Amino acid sequence: MTRAIEITSFMPRDGLGAADFVAANADVDPWLRRQPGFVERIMVEERNGRMIDMVIWESRTEAEDSARRLMSELADSPVHDVIEQASVSWAIRSIVHQS
């Protein structure tokens, strides 16, 4: 089975930053850890403030299934309020090499 990476990047809403995004994920992180195929989540902040949120999954199928359910099961999560929605870039890709 080939692992997959889910990569989401975005700008936080005006006046907010990485710490606000991390805090707003208080309900997302435990939810992710319960999902089939979840391996690891990593967040980084670029110099311009853009956030990159990466999740490693055991398979692309599990990544896609989780992404579909997250939007409905966590529709009321505070995380949505810290993201400038128009700036979101999101993709799931199969990992071709990992060491």
- The per-residue pLDDT for range 7-37, each reduced to its tens digit, is 999 999 999 999 999 999 999 999 999 999 9
With CA atoms as reference, report the closest residue to 28 among 84, 85, 66: 66
Tell me the CA distances in angstroms from 33 to 39, 40, 58, 97, one per residue in order: 8, 8, 13, 23
Q: Is the model's pLDDT at 51 over the cut of 90? A: yes
Give CA–CA dist 33/6, Å, rounded: 15
Residue 91 CA from chain centroid, whole number:
10
Select 4-94's CATH number: 3.90.1720.10, 3.30.70.100, 3.40.109.10, 3.40.50.300.
3.30.70.100
Is a pLDDT exceeding 80 seen at residue 1? no
